Structure 1
Amino acid sequence: MNTQHLLTEIVILFAGIFLSLMAVYLVLKNDIQRFFNLKNAELNKESRAALLPLRLQAHERLILFTDRINPANLLVRLHQQGIPLSALQASILNDIRSEYQHNITQQLYVDSTTWTVVRKLKDDTIAMINNAVQGLPADANGIELSKIILQHMAGIDDNPYDLTIELVKKDIQKMF
C-alpha cells in the first residue's frame, strides 16, 4: 500500500505541474504570439529594406533595356555607312538578344505583368525588324532598312517603347 500511495502522490504531483504549466501557457500565449509577430514584422521590414535597392536597380535596367532596343536608338548606334542589309539585320538582332540575356534576371524584382510586357516588346521588335527585311529586295542596303523601320515607327500612334517605360515607372511607384 505504501507503494500505491506513493504512486498516487506522484501522479497527483505531475498532474498539478502539468495543469500549472498549461495555465501559465494560456496566460502567456498572447504575449508569446505578439512577440513572434513583432519579430516577423521586423524581419519583413529588414528584408524589404534590403530588397529595395535591388528592385530599383532592376527597374532602372529595364528602362535602359527598353530605351536601347528602341529602333530609333538601335539604328543610330548600329548603323554604319554602306552596311549591307543582312549585316545590319544580324547586328540589330544580336544586340537585342544580347541586351535581353544581360537583363533576364531582372524579372525577379519586377511585377510579372511588367516583365511580360518587356519580353513582348523585345519579341515584337525582333518581329518588326524581320518583317521589314522581308519586305525589301535582296539587294537593299542598311539605309533602306532604317528608312522602313523609322517610317513604321512614325506611323504608330502610341510609341510602345514610351508606354513600356511608363509601365516600369508605375511599377516603381507601387513600391512607395
Structure 2
Amino acid sequence: MTNFSGYLPYAFALIIAIPFLVLLRQFVFTYIRLKEQEIRLLTVKSNSENKTQAYERMTLFLERIKPSNLVQRFNKDLASHEFIFLTEKTINEEFEYNSSQQLYVTKNSWQNIVDSKNAVIDLLHKTYDGLNGNANLEEFKTIFIMNYMENEDYISTTIEDLRREILIIA
C-alpha cells in the first residue's frame, strides 16, 4: 500500500485553487466580452458621427454653390469670363476636397450633389453664352441669379433630401 499522506497538502491546495481558477477564467471572458461590446458601440457611434459630418459638409458645399452666394465671392473688377473661370475652379476644388464624403451619404444623395454642382457650372456657361460675352460682371451676375431662379431650385431640393436622410439616420 502506498502512503498518500505526502500528497495530501497538494490535493488540498488543488481543491482550493480550482474554484479560484474557474472564477478567474469567468472574469477574464466576461471582461473580454464587455470590451468587444464597447468597441462595437464606439464603432457605431463613430460611423454615425462620420455620417452626420458628411451630411453637414455636403450641405455647406451646396449652400456655397448657390448662385446668390457665388456672386459675392470675387472682386468687381473682374471680367465675366474671369469670374466664370475662378468660380468654376473654386466649385471644383471644393467638390474634390469633399469627395470622400460620398462614402457616408447615400448613392442617390451623392448623385444629386454631383448633378447640382454640374448644373451650376452649366448655368454659368449658358448665361455667359446667352449674353455673347457682352455684359459687364454686375449684369452677368444679375442675369445668372435670375436664370437660376427661373428654373427649379435643385440645390434647395438636394439640401432638403439630405435633411430628410439625416433624420432617418439620427
Q: Alignment identity in percent?
A: 24
Q: What is the rounded CA distance, in whole Å, between the counterparts of 2:142 and 2:60 in structure 1?
A: 24
Matching residue within 118, 122, 125 for 1:123: 118
Q: What is the rounded CA distance, in whole Å, between the counterparts of 1:118 and 1:69 in structure 2?
A: 11
Cα RMSD for the two superposed structures: 2.0
Deviations 1:11-30 (A, max 9, x none): xxxxxxxxxxxxxxxxxxxx
Deviations 1:83-120 (A, max 9, x none): 21111111110111011011100001111111110011
**Structure 1 residue 139: Cα displacement:** 3.7
TM-score when scaled to structure 2?
A: 0.73
What 5-or-longer segments of structure 1 have no aligned partner?
A: 1-37
Q: What is the rounded CA distance, in whole Å, between the counterparts of 2:130 and 2:142 in structure 1?
A: 12
**Structure 1 residue 46: Cα displacement:** 3.7
Matching residue within 136, 141, 147 for 1:141: 136
Amino acid aligned to 1:141: N
Structure 2 partner of 1:100: 95
Q: Would you say 1:168 and 2:162 are equivalent positions?
A: yes
Deviations 1:8-50 (A, max 9, x none): xxxxxxxxxxxxxxxxxxxxxxxxxxxxxx99x9465442212
**Structure 1 residue 77: Cα displacement:** 1.9
Amino acid aligned to 1:118: I
What 5-or-longer segments of structure 2 have no aligned partner?
A: 1-32
Deviations 1:106-164 (A, max 9, x none): 001111111110011011111111111111133422112112111112223x4211111
Structure 1 partner of 2:49: 53
